[in-house]
Chain A
Amino acid sequence: MERHSQRVAYGETIVELGAENPNVVALEADLGKSTMSTLFQQAYPERYFEMGIAEADMISTAAGLAASGKIAFCSTFAVFAAGRAYDQIRQTVAIGKLNVKICGSSSGLSDFGDGSTHQAVEDVAIMTAIPNLTVFTPADADEVRLAVRAAAEIEGPVYIRVVRNDLPTYTKGEFKPGKLSILRPGNDVAIIAHGVMVEAAMNAADILEAKGISACVVNASTMKPFDSEGVQQLAQQVKAIVTAEDHSRIGGLASHVALALRQSSTPMDYVAIDDRFGQSAHSAKELMEYYGLTAEAIVDKAIALLD
């Protein structure tokens, strides 16, 4: 299947938004060649602010622009956005409900070579814990385009989680913020995934189908506000639920689904990163396999729950 870049989708979409709305500005902390915000720089240099290697300052500056009427898109790696700039996002952007849109790029283990310092395995936990913030975790490049557009429409702050490596397209041109979406119907087990793990979930559904198990694949591309009702409805339609995320089991999709199912009799299990940091590897695939983030792991959990 053809693969496409979420990063390019981000860069191209903010350029489109820049054309449509002169109040759209972009800020970057020296990672524009990775986040692809350089596309905005080329198109609208006067509205692009290279803030240097100073992520915290970038977010507060974006807050100042937003408080003055701008829609400020900031991009950096997810690990720096959610980590280094946490306080700036919390104190000024989120409390003040400012129109700052934060692209957490190269999230999860997708920056495989750079190792634990650059791999955000807890960004969803941190960002979803902040009141007033919307958190999107799009599954492919097409969905990034829609999520970035949706972010621009929302009055208030948004965090958009983007991965580094190209992904196949499974979404179908529709993005409803705050809602789970079904990518593949099925009635034995539901696999709820976001981001890169949607591909693993789709592959897991193929493997399960060959074994006579019907798997529903669900895309959780909004982690906040989280569609707990959608999870509860799903739980009534299937016999088990497995979550899949390239993120710590603490505070991410597994945690959110477990909370939603706290009074449900439908069993759930998760595929996620254990409570530990990432590390360097020569490929994302190698790293994902090492941390157990595979279609096979999802299949095993599903079969164990259904037995």
Chain B
Amino acid sequence: MQNTSEIRLLADKIRRDVIQMIGCEGQTGHLGGSCSSAEILATLYGGRLKFKPDDPKWEGRDKFLYSKGHAAIAQYAVMAEMGYFPKEKLWTVKQLGAMLQGHPDRLKTPGVEAGTGSLGQGLSIAVGMALEMKLDKHYDNRVYCVMGDGEMAEGQIWEAAMAAVNFKLDNLVGIVDRNTLQATGFIEERFNTNPLSEKWKGFGWHVIEIDGHDVNALLDAYEEAYHTPGKPTVIIANTVKGKGVSFAEGKAAFHNCSLTKEQYDTALAEVDARIAELSKN
């Protein structure tokens, strides 16, 4: 487990990897939703999840599902940083025959638990994994499922929300990366999925709402979820789409984008400055 400053550093390393994966040669990638998830992923992989990168099927592991699978490059980044595969593999993302597909693929990428990205389905898969953990008495383990707030429009999310409460899955933690933007603009102005906390409470979940870029708040929320019995916990993580790349922050245009050379250099320079600062500590 890493300390909080290491986790902050990891989050910016994820951002750096994501920017490099997108590059500036015409390829596109989901920059906005990857950057909004960076602290969530960094706290999970760096500070919470039990796993062994060299033994991805290790029985004692916790399970992680990135239901917002379009931001797969962020998951690949954190997995590479944690040692699941060499970092060089990141630069092959979406190449023909690559182990890193546009959306997570369990057969191609060791450590990916299940395919996600047809939005709305990850939480149901997580329910299945949580049921197995109960059946097989892995009581110390948890399933963490990161969803998008645009994804909240998918009806299956709420089917799974009911199922998780029905089965009293206190070993299941949902995390909503609430960056307030979907592909075409502000969620509130398009198909309003708010209010979220009230909805999840109404469905019977334990709800924790926090700043999704606050590493300590995230770690505390996981701890609170771990010790909340009898029902599942959802963490509404308020985030900024494109966080950490100033020109992309809060802009739907960077949901799935390519980068000009200038944008690329600016983005890397901003992230590198923070990495240099954090590395001093």
State the majority secondary structure of interface residues on B: helix
- Asked whether A60 lies within 8 Å of B160 as measured between CB atoms, the reply is yes
A57 touches B124 (CB 8 A): yes
Task: Assess the A67–B131 pair: CB atoms within 8 A.
Answer: no
Interface size on B, as a range, is 20 to 34
Contact present for A96 and B115 (CB under 8 Å): yes
Task: Name the B residues within 8 Å of A57 (CB-CB).
Answer: 124, 127, 156, 159-160, 163
Nearest opposing residue in chain A for B63, CB measure? A68
Residues of A near B160 (CB, < 8 A) are: 57, 60-61
- CB-defined contacts of A47 to chain B, threshold 8 Å: 135
Determine whether A297 belongs to the interface, using a CB cutoff of 8 Å to chain B. no
Contact with A along B107-137 (1 / 0, CB 8 A): 1000001111110010011111111110110
A92 near B125 with CB under 8 A, answer yes
* B115 lies within 8 A of A54 (CB): no
Interface residues on A, range: 20 to 34
B27 at the interface (CB under 8 A from A): no
List residues 124-159 of chain B with CB under 8 A from any CB of chain A. Answer: 124-133, 135-136, 156, 159
CB of B105 within 8 Å of the partner chain: yes
Instruction: Report A-chain residues with C-beta under 8 Å of the C-beta of B105.
Output: 95-96
Residues of A within 8 A of B113 (CB): 67
Counted as pairs of residues, one from A and one from B, with CB atoms less than 8 Å apart, the total is 103
Contact with B along A88-116 (1 / 0, CB 8 A): 10111001111000000000000000000
B128 touching A68 by the CB < 8 A rule? yes
Q: CA of A87 to CA of B154 in the docked complex: distance in angstroms?
A: 13
> Closest A-chain residue to B145, C-beta based?
A64
Within the complex, the shortest CB–CB distance from A90 to chain B, in Å, comes to 8
B106 at the A/B interface (Cβ < 8 Å)? yes
Complex Cα–Cα for A67 and B133 (A): 12
The contact of B128 among A46, A52, A56, A60, by CB within 8 Å, is A60
Q: Quick one: closest B residue to A27, CB to CB?
A: B128
Assess the A91–B127 pair: CB atoms within 8 A: no
List, in ascending order, chain A residues with CB within 8 A of B131's CB.
Answer: 49, 61, 64-65
Give CA–CA (A62, B129) in the complex, Å: 9
Assess the B125–A60 pair: CB atoms within 8 A. yes
Q: Do A64 and B115 touch across chains, with their CB atoms under 8 A apart?
A: no
Is A66's CB within 8 Å of the partner chain B? yes
Q: Are A46 and B159 in contact (CB under 8 A)?
A: no
Distance to closest chain A CB from B60 (angstroms): 13
**Contact status A64-B114, CB under 8 Å:** yes
Nearest-neighbour CB distance to chain A for B18, whole angstroms, equals 24
1/0 contact string of B149-187 vs chain A (CB within 8 Å) = 000000010011011001100000000000000000000
On whether A60 and B156 interact (CB within 8 A), knowing A67-B114, A95-B105, A96-B114, the answer reads: yes
| Bound-complex Cα distance A54 to B135 (A) | 22
Q: Are A91 and B132 in contact (CB under 8 A)?
A: no
Report if A191 contacts B (CB, 8 A): no
Q: Looking across the interface, which residue of chain B has its beta carbon closest to that of A56?
A: B156
Residue of B nearest to A94 (CB): B115
| A62 engages B128 (CB within 8 Å) | yes
B132–A69 contact, CB under 8 A? yes
A46 nearest in chain B by CB position: B135
A194 at interface, CB cutoff 8 A: no
Q: How far is the CA of A96 from the CA of B114 in the complex (A)?
A: 7
Check A91/B156 contact, CB under 8 A, given A65-B132, A66-B128, A68-B128.
Answer: no
B135 and A64 within 8 A (CB): no
* A61 with B127: CB separation less than 8 A: yes
Contact B118 A61 (CB under 8 A): no
CB distance from B99 to the nearest CB of A (A): 15
A66 to B131 Cα, complex, angstroms: 11
List of B residues within 8 angstroms of A56 by Cβ: 121, 124, 156, 159
Is A216 on the interface with B (CB-CB < 8 A)? no
Extra A-B contacts (4), CB below 8 Å, given A60-B156, A63-B124, A92-B125: A47-B135, A49-B131, A69-B132, A70-B135
Closest 6 CB pairs of A and B: A64-B128, A60-B124, A68-B132, A57-B159, A64-B125, A61-B128
A-B contact pairs, 10 of them (CB 8 A): A52-B166, A65-B132, A67-B125, A68-B63, A68-B128, A68-B132, A69-B136, A70-B135, A87-B121, A95-B105
